[in-house]
Amino acid sequence: MHTFAYLLCTPAACSGRVVSVAFDDELIVSGCTQGALKVWAMDELKCTKTLRTQHGSVAACALMHGVPVSAGDDGAITMWDMTAGMPIVSLAAGHPVTALDVHAYKGEQLMQPVLSL
C-alpha cells in the first residue's frame, strides 16, 4: 500500500472517514465526514493545515492553482485561504454537493459541482 494511502487510514488523517482526495504537484487535500479539509505537503506527506467547514461532510475537494476548494453536505462550494484558515469565497449550490471538478479553460478557472437532488 502506498504510504499516503496508509496515512489516510489512520486517526491522524481524520476523526471520521476520509471521503475525498485531490492533489497537484505540491499539495494533497483530503476531506472527511467530520467537516475537515486537511492540506498535506506532497514531499513530506505531512498535514500542514486543517480547515474546518461549517456543517457536514466534505464530500468533494479540489485544488485550483494551489488553492483548496471544498464542497459537501452543506451545499456550499468554498475556496480557502490557507494562511488565514478562512474562506476566500463560498458559493451556495442549494443542494448537497457530491463531486467537484476544477480546471482551467482559456485562462479562466471553472468549477463544476455535481449536486445530490
Q: Give me the mean pLDDT over the 87-114 stretch.
A: 74
Cβ–Cβ < 8 Å for 39, 61: no
Name residue, grid cell 471553472: 110
Q: For domain 3-98, give the fold.
A: Lipocalin (2.40.128)
* For residues 34-46, average pLDDT: 88
Summarize pLDDT for 42-96 with one digit per residue, the tens. 888 888 999 987 678 899 999 988 899 999 888 888 999 999 999 999 888 888 8
Residue of 91 and 110 predicted with greater confidence: 91
DSSP-assigned letter for residue 93: -
Q: 49 near 29, Cβ under 8 Å? A: no
Q: Where are the domains of the chain?
A: 3-98
Place of cell 492540506: 39
Rounded to two decimals, the pTM is 0.80
